[in-house]
Amino acid sequence: MIITKKKTIEDITASLEGKKSVYLFGCNSCAEQCKTGGAEELKSMTETLTDKGFKVTGSSLVDETCYTQLVKREFRKVDAVKKSDAVLVLSCGAGVKCVADEAEDIGDGTQTIVPALDSMFLSSVERVGRFFEGCSLCGECVLDKTAGICPHTDCPKGLLNGPCGGVDEGKCEVMLDNDCAWVRIYTRLKAQGRLELMEEIASPKDYSTTTRPRNVLLR
């Protein structure tokens, strides 16, 4: 799941400055679960913007705002979208991108598209409302060698060959509440009788797999 957080209303109204009518997009997937862009948030954003003097022309709660076809359908179906001065998107950046592309494609390309959220990370979910970064999407998974604990994600320095000198009684010196990723990897590999994996020198990571923007075409 993609974790998002709300921008401040001051930031949002600053981006909407000079616009009179605003249409809202929410996302019924990740942003709904993060409580940043579901039905409730669309309702409260409508009220807030109305209070601030904007005309909210309507809102769409798309199942997945990052899905171009679903966004396209809203642009075709709902006249108010195209007629508003601005569109405020309560989803991750991938959703904002889809809305902006369709605004150009189906609309006249003059609308201002404004993100209401900041996109944070790809998460593992401990329980409702408790999210931890689960994967850095680095393009070269090493979890087989690190007992399922990611050194790219769980070590603030992304070290590949063991802990830095900052381990303090097993704790990370950067994220003080966290156990050091490499001490955890060591403990798990030791318990599994696979410490030799940690003794091998890991080569520098291949960053050519992460040249942006990435894309996939299934055939």
- State the CB neighbour count (10 A cutoff) for residue 203: 8
CB distance 88 to 116 below 8 Å: yes
CB closer to other proteins, 81 vs 180: 180
Which residue type sits at 197? L
Task: Give, as ranges, the residues between 153 and 182 that touch other proteins (CB under 8 A).
Answer: 156-170, 173-174, 180, 182
Q: Give kind and range of the element (H or E) at residue 184.
A: helix 181-191
CB of 3 to other proteins, least distance (A): 20
CB of 137 to other proteins, least distance (A): 17
CB closer to other proteins, 125 vs 195: 195
Task: Give, as ranges, the residues between 198 and 217 that touch other proteins (CB under 8 A).
Answer: 198-199, 201-205, 207
CB closer to other proteins, 96 vs 155: 155
Q: What would the x/- binding string for other proteins be over residues 7 to 36, using CB under 8 A? A: ------------------------------
CB of 69 to other proteins, least distance (A): 36
Ramachandran sector of residue 39 (left: φ over 0; alpha: ψ -120 to 50; beta: rest): alpha
Q: How far is CA 185 from CA 139, 188, 218, in A?
A: 20, 5, 35
CB closer to other proteins, 105 vs 206: 206
CB of 213 to other proteins, least distance (A): 19
Q: What angle do CA 45, 16, 39 make, to 5 degrees?
A: 20
User: How many angstroms separate the CA atoms of 151 and 157, rounded?
Assistant: 8
CB closer to other proteins, 11 vs 179: 179
CB of 120 to other proteins, least distance (A): 17
DSSP state of 191: H
Q: Which two tokens stand for residue 150?
A: 């990611």
CB of 66 to other proteins, least distance (A): 26
3-state DSSP: the chain helix, strand, coil percent, rounded to 5? Answer: 35, 20, 45
CB distance 157 to 178 below 8 Å: no
CB closer to other proteins, 101 vs 133: 133
**What are the residues binding other proteins (CB under 8 A)?**
156-170, 173-174, 180, 182-183, 186, 195, 198-199, 201-205, 207
